[in-house]
Chains A and B, each alone.
Chain A
């Protein structure tokens, strides 16, 4: 709860900085504030009274670990995105929008009432629509903002209609009351069936799972690289956490209604995301399709429908977010020198750029799920939680997907060592810090996977 207030306060500070003329410091203030928010979040661990404001939000340990993942990602993001906070007159607006989007994401992971979920999703989405178009002179950025906005508004319609159906049947927005309604022979269960499927459509759009993924590659490619990094980490983490809570807590007893549909969505996301990623020539698009396939893996935790799924989800989202932020940091730096983020821009950089090479290798191996990096244990925990009470079919599809993904992740590493080039990509201090933290986190989480797993 305190983290929510703190980050909102930081956002307001961003607006005030415009009036009171301390725009120069807002970047540093945001970083310090996020650090403080992380500390405050961990202080709330094992909170004896997790419910606030008439059960509107619920900060149990799962929610707190998701918030920690979001804030750590947010902090790393601020460090990597220093270049968009240059003095161009818009830096305070950008930092405000990013901080508010984190507020929305926190609402989405800590909600206990569907109204909070909806408001959280809207805050996050509206900030993202604007940030996607924040490079105003670029046509691609404008296109990406427009596409994201139109598709996002359409998906929100589905989500809202699903909420209306659930409310119509259960006469409550409260997650726990809906759960109680579901578990004892509910009246008007047909409304719930339709509502659950409509909600699944709306949320699957937000995590860009197949077949609701068509917006993702275009939006990711057009938006500024830093914003793409934010979209593929924070948005996905928050949406999957909201998805997990709603489906396992509220609709957990009606698993039979949604498990088949979600299984197909997960299998298609893993396969189609990975296969199309193989054919991409642009690293940003490749990462977009890889994000689609990761959405498929994340859905396994929801399909598992048990507590281990939630633990696996926090581990996986942290591993995925850290590796993705590292990858985007490298892409942003290379693209700013070479002018494009195609695979060919990376050729020959392996000779002279040690930090870039190591972070590309670590993050790509982690994303592909190769031991001993964090991504491997993420996938391992997801699969074991799913196998606790399900058959192995979907896990086999997941493994096939991972095998395909090795091809395109390694293509980037191979490209680093192809050809001769003595070019040195200059890295700013903050970029170096991000890459080093990301490498340490990815390796440490891989070597000591139990730190995250033994918490509760």
Chain B
């Protein structure tokens, strides 16, 4: 093989390797960007123990269920960030579970195209443990017309919460669905209007976990948290227009 052939082969191979990072379990051109922007370039490891459970493809790109589970690092978790790498609005949530709340969160999101999904778990030693998964999609979930706004009387239902507490072996699972359009500003003529803050509190108002949400979260957000003990909890929510909502579980 002469020099020109080698060069040609190298050029052919180049688009396949592109910007991906060694050890990355998913092929991504965006890791470096998000690492710098969301994790401030801090030390990290790709870590299979941070589980990102999702379907292999998005049947409904407006409601993609994801489950981030960092139970392997229970007791050591400071923060969990999640993002959809190729979304126009990449960030999904920023979750800080306190001692009584498990480092595990299920939520539904919108995706605009097939994309890697990441969950970065900051442990007390200052290392980000990054779990990764990939989802295929026909896409369009972020720019699809609002389903909520097409329903008559949605304003009256704003902030209504459906929920239930499920007893598990050594914890309780709190599952809720909050009526909210979660407008992400990408649909013509409708500005951003979404739930951006949540706290889980105990019966005395003590904060058990804080959660920041981003408008990649689906309309009528479905959330699931796990908390230790039997005590009553309250979920507090606020949207970017200042509306506050509360639910007891």
Check if A and B associate: no
Binding site for A on B (CB under 8 A): none
